[in-house]
Amino acid sequence: MHSMSPRQFKKFALLCDLVPLWFKNATLIFTLLSIFQLGYSQKNQRYKIGLIDLMLLKRQKLGAIPLTKQIGADGIEVDMGGLGNRRTFDNQLLVDSVRKQFLDKAKELNIEIFSFAMTGYYAQSFCNREEYKRSIEDCITTMKLMNVKTAFLPLGVQCDLKKNPSVRDSVVARLKVAGKIAEQAAVIIGIETALSAKEEVELLKEINSPAIKIYFNFSNPLKERRDLITELKTLGRDRICMIHATNKDSVWLENDPQIDMYKVKKTLDEMGWSGWLVIERSRDAKKPSDVKENYGANTAYLKKVFQ
């Protein structure tokens, strides 16, 4: 073996000392790069998977955020609270201290609050209620305070335009008002109706507000035996703000014969649509109250297909 001079030996020893330090720093660098890449990919993901605090049995509860993280979804839709006979929603997020808790927890866990839901209007009448404007304003105020750009407004039972076409004029007039308020705040209100996609296109034309869009629900056309893919194409990319990407409660999405989810993705890809796919139902009918298992399975499946 070739012998080293004292000077060469010192250089070799110094190099040996530096090797563990290099590996230690390299590990740190690669870890930081991985974290950055993960954060970047989540932020720029074309399709994001969301849950609903109401369906997690945590209506406007802080615990919905860590539960969403545990289940593996990207974000949570927060409910505005009950409505009943109140002038507006039972919304605690207008309280500074409560709102800060939600914002801090969401930031800590990297869970996005992507929408507020006015589900009180499933049972209450948006088309007849005197105080409807106050409730819309409170929702939009909350959105601005929490930097949320989309809200969900179901037209519900009493304002079902298919069963009660006589309320159409009232619905349109009130959505025009809501649209103006939303436009001024630079936010979107997504409505859910019982109409076909073709009829929803006409409804949106009548409302004539860029701030009112459709919050599409897979289960609506499916229960009426309309073709899901055709309905999506009829509405088109720009009329759909978000999607309830589930069906009625019976089986998990991966076992649902009514939905070819890969075909849905291909259609949305071709349409150029991107946004939130929100899990509402599709719970196993044998164990509908098992929140973690039902929403965990559906979240994992949608992530597999869309991400």
The answer to whether 29 and 20 are in contact (CB under 8 A) is no
Structural domains of the chain, count:
2
The answer to whether 229 and 195 are in contact (CB under 8 A) is no
The packing angle between helices 291-306 and 64-71, to 10°, is: 50
The answer to whether 303 and 276 are in contact (CB under 8 A) is no
Q: Which amino acid is at 146?
A: M
The per-residue pLDDT for range 192-249, each reduced to its tens digit, is 999 999 999 999 999 999 999 999 999 999 999 999 999 999 999 999 999 999 999 9
**Domain CATH code at residue 87:** 3.20.20.150
In angstroms, rounded to a whole number, what is the distance separating the alpha carbons of residues 10 and 233?
72
Based on the fold, state whether residues 67 and 134 are members of the same structural domain: yes
- Which one is predicted more confidently, 282 or 24? 282
Based on the fold, state whether residues 29 and 136 are members of the same structural domain: no
pLDDT, position 25: 56
- Domain extent, residue 152, equals 45-306
The per-residue pLDDT for range 78-95, each reduced to its tens digit, is 999 999 989 999 999 999
Is pLDDT above 50 for 35? no
How many C-beta atoms surround the C-beta of residue 104 within 10 A?
12
Based on the fold, state whether residues 175 and 75 are members of the same structural domain: yes
Based on the fold, state whether residues 212 and 181 are members of the same structural domain: yes
Based on the fold, state whether residues 283 and 190 are members of the same structural domain: yes
Segment 91-112 shows an average pLDDT of: 98
The per-residue pLDDT for range 136-188, each reduced to its tens digit, is 999 999 999 999 999 999 999 999 999 999 999 999 999 999 999 999 999 99
Reference 194, options 167, 174, 176, 173; nearest CA is 167
pLDDT, position 130: 87
Q: Which amino acid is at 281?
A: R
The values of phi and psi at residue 278, to 5°, are -110, 125
Q: Which amino acid is at 14?
A: L
pTM of this structure: 0.85
Q: SS in 3 state form for 31-67?
A: HHHHHHHHHHHHHCCCEEEEEECCCCCCCCCCCHHHH
- Mean of per-residue pLDDT scores for the chain: 91
Decide: helix, strand or coil at residue 69: helix
Based on the fold, state whether residues 242 and 210 are members of the same structural domain: yes
In angstroms, rounded to a whole number, what is the distance separating the alpha carbons of residues 56 and 173?
34
pLDDT, position 44: 77
